[in-house]
């Protein structure tokens, strides 16, 4: 386990020694349904935090709100000490908070290399007038291409470099999306179900890529359903149910936590029939 | 039936000033639709404001032609901002609805009696192209090869229009191969992915809408100058659909697609027109089946048939890549 997280009490909303993302009172309702209501949550810098919970627990909605893809009805959150409540998605990405999607969003009719180069920030040639004048950006473009090639090598996609991204397999798309996120040079990556639809062999490779990110100093937060994955690589696990954080703690402790078992199996699972008693 | 007449008619139309104007407007539309994925169903509105910018400035207010050109360009920028500001944050359909409505609203507004003192209403405007033809270096004569002849005035308009097409194509070629172009092509594929990588999708869509609209307004100006008159009713929605036909025919998202598409579209249209007239004249087609006044409608039916065949046998257009097309379906 991550050394800084040792010895913390495993209560929902427990303060971390060095939080990167701090969430306060974030609420998101769809009509009458409160999808997310998080009182307080801190994500430790430089650690891998898993976000688990049954379907409909609000994990993806929380991701969407925090990454600027959905708006919150109430609440505040800060990233790296700065208030970023309601900040648009592209501004958050430029600040270093980059997300991936549950359904991979590779850009099919761009080559794999173009997918990578697109993600580099601060490109001079991305301005309309400068785009017309290649001498202004060709040097920078070459540097970006070199970095993209290094990442493609690392993620074993180098042989697909010049193919359309639309020709990649599902697992390769997951790899490309993760590699592309790194082109932004993020301080934190939010991975929405990185293992969904990936074969077991590739899962191992994706897992090692995720732990590599942490070892390079990045903060990782991911939503996942596969408990083996969660137990294997996370430093800290946050469990949500019905929009709220019901438990958090080190993986082993969370697995034993009665609130988590309740969340997955339903309350009163050990007291059969109690629901019908009032009738 | 004189085949030389039919073929020369088709060639004259295919490389003529109207084909150049449509190629130019289609280049703008290709930037919207082919590269950025913006559904602009009102490209004709940009042509209209460009045409009237020139015509009304010169004819109504006696301003010099170059001022009229600036006013035409300025109007297209304003129109693009007005259309884009409320719709570009929403899903693609909203821009489509707004643009198709704006095209018709503008046409009806420009032809209304209220606007008549400025726009000439249903009578349109004339006598604004004098300055353009005065600077022509081409002596009065007819020019061309074989049976394909142009007057000196048409040749001047044709040369200027094709020069503008060339210029626009070079600008688009430079842009779409730059990092800017990479961003707009990525927006066409998936907006959210681009947003998640730190690009302001809204700003890029707006830039694309403005630039394509400005190119469309230049086409409108050239159309007005070439006709030496403007009339609101020549800017009806069907023009936009001709432009879509041209873009799809040539290949959407290809630099040369709109140019090849426009040349072929006008050549084929005129070929059918001329061939049908010759056939009726020679008695091969009985006037009771197709009479001469019906030729205009029948040629569009034939073009429609051609498009259906194109969609079946070459859905990516003439210059498009089939591989890329098939990726779309995944």
Number of domains in chain B: 1
| C-beta atoms of A98 and B198 within 8 A | yes
Residue A3's pLDDT band (boundaries 50, 70, 90)?
low
Q: Give residue B316's pLDDT.
A: 87
B35, B198, B330, best to mutate vs chain A, most A CBs in 10 Å: B198
**Which of A71-75, A114-118, A258-262, B207-211 is the least confident region?**
A258-262
Q: Give the confidence band of A274 by pLDDT, cuts at 50, 70, 90.
A: very low
* Minimal C-alpha gap between B190 and chain A (Å): 6
In B, minimum Cα distance to A94 occurs at B198
For chain A, say whether B185 makes contact (Cβ under 8 Å).
Answer: yes
Contact across the interface for B179 and A99, Cβ inside 8 Å: no
Higher-confidence residue of B214 and A227: namely B214
Long-range contacts of B102-106 (CB under 8 A, 24+ apart): B102/B42, B102/B45, B103/B41, B103/B42, B103/B44, B103/B45, B103/B48, B103/B235, B103/B237, B103/B240, B104/B236, B104/B237, B106/B45, B106/B48, B106/B49, B106/B79, B106/B235
Q: B196, A93: Cβ pair inside 8 Å?
A: yes
Instruction: Please give the Cα distance from A248 to A239 (Å, whole number).
Output: 6
> What pLDDT sits at residue A277?
44
Give yes or no for residue A273 having a pLDDT over 80.
no
Q: How many Å apart are CA B232 and CA B106, to the nearest integer?
A: 9
Per-residue pLDDT of chain B (330 residues; tens, 9 = 90+): 789 999 999 999 999 999 999 999 999 999 999 999 999 999 999 999 999 999 999 999 999 999 999 999 999 999 999 999 999 988 888 999 999 999 999 999 999 999 999 999 999 999 999 999 999 999 988 888 888 899 999 999 999 999 999 999 999 999 999 999 999 999 999 999 999 999 999 999 999 999 999 999 999 999 999 999 999 999 999 999 999 999 999 999 999 999 999 999 999 999 999 998 899 888 888 888 888 888 888 888 888 888 888 888 888 888 888 888 777 654
Q: Which two tokens stand for residue A75?
A: 């609440």
| Nearest-by-Cβ selection for A109 from B207, B211, B327 | B327
**A142 → chain B, closest CA residue:** B179
Q: In terms of Cα–Cα distance, which of B175, B177, B137 is closest to B159?
A: B137
Q: Which domain holds residue B28?
A: 3-328
Which residues in chain A touch residue B201, judged by CB atoms under 8 angstroms apart?
A: 90
Give the 3-state secondary structure of residue A146: helix
- The domain over range A3-106+168-267 is classified in CATH as 3.40.920.10: no
Residues B327, A164: C-beta atoms closer than 8 Å: yes
Predicted pLDDT at A271: 54
Q: Which of B174, B188, B199 sits opposite A90 (nearest CB)?
A: B199
pLDDT band at A258 (very low <50, low <70, confident <90, very high): confident
Distance from CA of A270 to the nearest CA of B (A): 44
Q: How far, in Å, CA of A210 to CA of A216, rounded?
A: 10
> pLDDT at position A275, please?
47
SS3 A261: helix
Measured between CA atoms, the residue of chain B closest to residue A107 is: B189
> Which CATH number fits the domain that encloses residue B281?
1.10.3470
Whether the pLDDT of residue A267 is over 70: the answer is no
Token pair for residue A46? 């430089």
pLDDT of A256 above 60: yes
3-class SS letters over chain B: CCHHHHHHHHHHHHCCHHHHHHHHHHHHHHHHHHHHCCCCCCHHHHHHHHHHHHHHHHHHCCCCHHHHHHHHHHHHHHHHHHHHHHHCCCCHHHHHHHHHHHHHHHHHHHHCCCCHHHHCHHHCEECCCHHHHHCCCCCCCEEEECCEEEEHHHHHHHHHHHHHHHHHHHHHHHHHCCHHHHHHHHHHHCHHHHHHCCCCHHHHHHHHHHHHHHHHHHHHHHHHHHHCEECHHHCCCHHHHHHHHHHHHHCCCCCCHHHHHHHHHHHHHHHHHHHHHHHHHCCCCCCCCCCHHHHHHHHHHHHHHHHHHHHHHCCCCCCCCHHHHHHHCC
Chain A interface includes B196 (CB < 8 A): yes
Could you tell me the maximum CA-CA distance found in chain A, to the nearest angstrom? 78
Of A69, A99, A131, the CB nearest to B181: A131
pLDDT of residue A10: 75
In a mutagenesis test of the A interface, which of B196, B205, B251, B253 is the best target, namely the one with the most A β-carbons within 10 Å? Answer: B196
Task: Tell me the average pLDDT across A87-91.
Answer: 94
Q: Is the pLDDT of residue A160 over 90?
A: yes
Tell me which chain B residues have a C-beta less than 8 angstroms from the C-beta of A119: 197-198
Mean model confidence pLDDT for chain A: 89
> Which of A118, A128, A130 lies at the smallest CB-CB distance from B186?
A118
């Amino acid at each position: 386990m991550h050394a800084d997280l040792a010895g913390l009490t495993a209560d929902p909303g427990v303060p971390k020694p060095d939080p990167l993302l701090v969430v306060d009172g974030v609420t998101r309702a769809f009509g009458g349904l409160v999808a997310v209501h998080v009182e307080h949550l801190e994500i430790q810098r430089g650690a891998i935090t898993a976000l688990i919970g049954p379907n409909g627990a609000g994990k993806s909605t929380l991701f969407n709100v925090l990454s600027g893809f959905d708006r919150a009805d109430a609440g505040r959150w800060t990233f790296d000490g700065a208030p970023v409540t309601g900040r648009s998605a592209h501004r958050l990405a430029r600040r270093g908070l980059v997300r991936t999607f549950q359904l991979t969003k590779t850009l099919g009719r761009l080559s794999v290399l173009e997918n990578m180069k697109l993600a580099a920030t601060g490109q001079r040639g991305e301005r309309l007038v400068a785009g017309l004048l290649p001498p202004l950006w060709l040097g920078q473009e070459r540097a970006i291409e070199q970095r993209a090639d290094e990442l493609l090598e690392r993620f074993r996609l180098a042989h697909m470099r010049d193919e359309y991204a639309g020709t990649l397999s599902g697992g390769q798309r997951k790899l490309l999306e993760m590699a592309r996120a790194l082109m932004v040079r993020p301080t934190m990556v939010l991975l929405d179900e990185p293992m969904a639809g990936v074969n077991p062999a590739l899962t191992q490779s994706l897992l090692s890529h995720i732990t590599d990110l942490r070892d390079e100093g990045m903060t990782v937060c991911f939503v996942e359903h596969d408990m083996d994955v969660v137990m294997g690589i996370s430093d800290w696990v946050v469990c949500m149910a019905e929009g709220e954080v019901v438990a958090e703690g080190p993986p082993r402790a969370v697995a034993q936590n009665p609130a988590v078992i309740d969340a997955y199996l339903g309350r009163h699972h050990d007291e059969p029939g109690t629901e019908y008693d009032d009738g | 039936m004189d085949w030389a007449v039919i073929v020369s008619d088709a060639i004259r139309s295919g490389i003529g000033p109207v084909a150049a104007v449509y190629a130019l407007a289609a280049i703008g539309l290709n930037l919207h639709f082919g590269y950025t994925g913006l559904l602009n169903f009102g490209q004709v509105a940009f042509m209209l404001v460009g045409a009237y910018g020139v015509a009304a400035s010169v004819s109504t207010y006696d301003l010099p032609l170059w001022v009229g050109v600036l006013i035409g360009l300025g109007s297209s920028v304003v129109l693009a901002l007005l259309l884009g500001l409320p719709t570009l944050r929403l899903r693609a359909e909203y821009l489509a609805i707004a643009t198709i409505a704006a095209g018709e609203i503008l046409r009806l507004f420009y032809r209304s009696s209220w606007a008549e003192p400025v726009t000439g209403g249903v009578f349109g405007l004339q006598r604004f192209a004098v300055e353009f033809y005065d600077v022509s270096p081409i002596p009065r004569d007819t020019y061309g090869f074989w049976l394909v002849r142009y007057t000196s005035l048409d040749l001047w308009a044709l040369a200027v229009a094709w020069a503008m097409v060339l210029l626009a194509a070079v600008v688009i070629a430079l842009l779409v191969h730059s990092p800017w172009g990479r961003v707009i092509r990525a927006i066409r594929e998936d907006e959210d992915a681009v947003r998640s990588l730190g690009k302001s999708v809204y700003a890029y869509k707006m830039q694309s809408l403005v630039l394509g609209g400005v190119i469309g307004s230049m086409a409108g100006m050239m159309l007005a100058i070439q006709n030496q008159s403007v009339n609101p009713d020549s800017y009806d929605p069907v023009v936009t659909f001709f432009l879509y036909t041209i873009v799809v025919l040539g290949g959407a998202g290809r630099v040369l697609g709109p140019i090849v598409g426009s040349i072929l579209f006008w050549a084929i249209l005129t070929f059918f027109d001329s061939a049908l007239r010759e056939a009726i004249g020679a008695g091969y087609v009985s006037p009771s089946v197709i009479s001469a006044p019906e030729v205009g409608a029948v040629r569009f039916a034939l073009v429609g048939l051609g498009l259906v065949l194109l969609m079946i046998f070459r859905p990516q257009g003439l210059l498009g890549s089939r591989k890329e097309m098939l990726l779309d379906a995944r």
